[in-house]
């Protein structure tokens, strides 16, 4: 049997972890960076995000589809599968994606589940989704699909040929791509094509 030893947390990291757990227990979903900051009385979102990244690095939380899931223990060694890296996707202002179709990345098997063979990976450029725990340089796993529900994070292909990563909003016939950063504005469109929906986030330290 392999012993699992908890990696020591700082006092502030412990407070952040407990705040995440309490929020999820009370509301049934994970808090955003801004909500965590309000709970912890930390006004700088970057400072909150830094603590979250430290918790993730130490294995106390996992980011899945833009949500935090506390684990309690450092992540165990998992089997991996290769997923094609299709290029860069802007999480800021929409722009043309770069094709890198000959590359691949290794992904923990548990992140794909039954979706194996229908998932690709893209690297994020920009900071419009930081409140959904997706930062510049992160790699996101995307399930190929041409449909998505309101509230899901998607890779969208716009009429002008540009591509962007945003949260889809469908209300009263209005189609909007919503950022998760107050410094960016929503993008309203008359129509768009969904290339896929986000199912996971990966990060290298």
**What's residue 76's pLDDT?**
42
Domains of the chain are 11-70 (1.10.10.10), 80-202 (2.10.109.10)
**What's residue 205's pLDDT?**
54
Q: Tokens standing for 82?
A: 């290769």
Per-residue pLDDT for 116 more than 90?
no
Please list, in sequence order, all residues whose beta carbon lies within 8 angstroms of the beta carbon of residue 134, skipping any fewer than 6 positions away. Answer: 66, 91, 124, 140, 153, 165, 180, 198, 201
- First and final CA of the chain: distance in angstroms? 29
Q: Would residue 150 show up in a list of annotated catalytic residues for this protein?
A: no
Which of 29, 30, 64 lies closest to 201, judged by CA?
64
Residue of higher predicted confidence among 6 and 65: 65
Which of 130, 34, 121, 52 lies closest to 91, judged by CA?
130
Q: Would residue 50 show up in a list of annotated catalytic residues for this protein?
A: no
Least confident of 27-36, 44-53, 173-182: 27-36
Please list, in sequence order, all residues whose beta carbon lies within 8 angstroms of the beta carbon of residue 32, skipping any fewer than 6 positions away. Answer: 131, 132, 180
Per-residue pLDDT for 160 more than 80?
yes
Say how far apart CA 203 and CA 123 lie, in whole Å.
10
Q: What is the pTM of this model?
A: 0.63
Residue among 30, 54, 127, 128 flagged as catalytic? 128
Helix (H) or strand (E) holding 48: helix 45-57
Per-residue pLDDT for 201 more than 90?
no
Q: What percent of the chain has pLDDT over 90?
A: 30
> What is residue 31's DSSP assignment?
P
Residue among 58, 101, 166, 190 flagged as catalytic? 166
Say how far apart CA 65 and CA 113 lie, in whole Å.
13
């Amino acid at each position: 049997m392999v012993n699992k030893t908890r990696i020591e947390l700082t006092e502030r990291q412990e407070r952040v972890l407990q705040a995440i757990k309490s929020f999820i227990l009370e509301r049934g979903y994970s808090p955003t960076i801004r909500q965590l900051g309000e709970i912890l009385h930390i006004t700088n979102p970057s400072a909150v995000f830094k603590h979250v990244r430290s918790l993730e690095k130490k294995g106390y939380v996992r980011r899945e589809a833009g949500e935090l899931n506390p684990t309690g223990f450092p992540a165990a060694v998992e089997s991996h599968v290769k997923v094609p890296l299709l290029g860069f996707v802007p999480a800021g202002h929409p722009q043309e994606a770069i094709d890198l179709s000959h590359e691949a990345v290794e992904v923990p098997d548990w992140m794909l589940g039954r979706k194996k063979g229908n998932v690709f990976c893209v690297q994020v450029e920009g900071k419009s989704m930081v409140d959904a725990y997706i930062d510049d340089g992160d790699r996101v796993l995307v399930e190929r699909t041409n449909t998505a529900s309101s509230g899901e994070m998607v890779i969208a292909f716009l009429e002008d040929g540009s591509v962007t990563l945003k949260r889809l909003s469908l209300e009263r016939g209005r189609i909007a791509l919503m950022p998760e950063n107050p410094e960016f504005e929503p993008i309203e469109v008359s129509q768009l094509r969904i290339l896929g929906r986000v199912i996971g986030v990966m990060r290298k330290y």
